Amino acid sequence: MTIALLPAPLPVAMPLLVAVPLLGAVMGSFLATAALRGAYGESLLHPPSHCRGCGRRLNAIDLLPILGYALRRGRCTDCGTPIPALFPLAETAGLLIGLSTLWQFAGADLLAALLFGLLLLAIALRDSRDFTIPDILSYGLILSGLGATAWLKPALLPEHALAALLGGGLLALLAWGYKRLRGRDGMGWGDVKLLAGIGAWMGLHSLPMVVLLAALGGIAQAVWQSRGKPQATMMIPLGSWLGIAAWLLYVGQP
């Protein structure tokens, strides 16, 4: 008996094979910009993309996903200011989201999955920068999850709505219990709404494994950052780990 580690890829037209990963990489670059500017309290639209060191406006080569960073060797060609590593990481993540979406989904399911993956990426990037998850992203995740379920799998809508309530309720209870026990916040309400959104997209059966994988990832990060001696006051972007865990399960499930 053989066991397949990954599902067989679905047949995909050549234009989609190029367009979807490229779109993922471009969106990854845009979402990295949005995360950085949001963390700095800046407008997303103005000024245009520029070097933070010398103010030089970025050209078409600079803005090429992944390649632009490699060609510039990670630095501004004028002043040598390092380009944030968040850009190639986000662009590579977007590329992988596009490829994994093509691998597992087709038609309307592909469009929905791409939306889900990019929303999770936007949330993970912002949470990794300043430990916040904007309401527009978390509420957007909940509404789009329920909408996609109603459109593609209407019979599962009650279960997914219940998963949104239970997912958000579980973390809300944990956040309340931690504050009662320790006298300070240990979890943001953005994480609560994020798990509700994941439940809206994935249903009840996936929530326990999402939470488990996210917790393990957060613990591993804490151990690595603290050189094996994590402190109770360390801040870990749980939303980023919830997003990673949700996407891995979403594309890995049968």
Q: Contacts for 210-213 with beta carbons within 8 Å, 24 or more apart?
A: 210/242, 210/245, 210/246, 210/249, 211/170, 211/242, 211/245, 212/245, 213/241, 213/244, 213/245, 213/248, 213/249
Residues 6+ apart with CB under 8 A from 158: none
Q: Binning pLDDT at 50, 70 and 90, where does residue 16 land?
A: confident
Going 224 to 227 to 233 to 234, the CA torsion angle's sign is negative
Predicted local confidence at residue 59, as pLDDT: 87
pLDDT of 241: 95
d(CA 230, CA 111): 40
3-state helix, strand, coil in the chain (%, to 5): 70, 0, 30
Name 36's Cβ contacts closer than 8 Å, sequence gap at least 6: 84, 86, 129
User: With 60 as the cut, is the pLDDT of residue 12 above it?
Assistant: no
The residues spanned by each domain of the chain are 15-104, 107-254
Q: How confident is the model at residue 14 (pLDDT cuts 50, 70, 90)?
A: low
Residue 250 has pLDDT above 90, yes or no: yes
Q: How confident is the model at residue 188 (pLDDT cuts 50, 70, 90)?
A: confident
The pLDDT score that the predictor gives to residue 1 is: 39
Q: Is residue 130 exposed (0-12), middle (13-18) or buried (19+ Cβ within 10 Å)?
A: middle
| Average pLDDT along the chain | 87
* Mean pLDDT confidence for 138-159: 96
Position 163 scores a pLDDT of 96
Reported as half-sphere exposure (CB side, CA atoms, 13 A), residue 122 has a value of: 24
pLDDT band at 2 (very low <50, low <70, confident <90, very high): very low
Are 195 and 168 in contact by the 8 Å Cβ rule? The answer is: yes
pLDDT, tens digit, 9 for 90 and up, residues 38-91: 888 888 878 888 888 888 888 888 888 999 999 888 898 888 889 999 999 999
State the pLDDT confidence band at 209, using cuts at 50, 70 and 90: very high
H-helix or E-strand spanning residue 97: helix 86-104
Three-class DSSP labels, 202-233: HCHHHHHHHHHHHHHHHHHHHHHHCCCCCCCC
User: Is residue 108 a contact partner of residue 151, using CB atoms and an 8 Å limit?
Assistant: yes
Q: In this structure, what token pair is assigned to residue 73? A: 């060797």
C-alpha 2/C-alpha 67 separation (Å) is: 39
First to last CA, the chain: 18
pLDDT of residue 9: 55
* The most confident of 34-43, 110-119, 167-176, by mean pLDDT: 110-119
If you count them, how many residues does the chain have? 254
What percentage of the chain has pLDDT greater than the value 70?
89
pTM here is 0.88
Instruction: Enumerate helices (H) and strands (E) in the chain, giving the number of each.
Output: 9, 0
Residue 29: pLDDT over 90:
yes
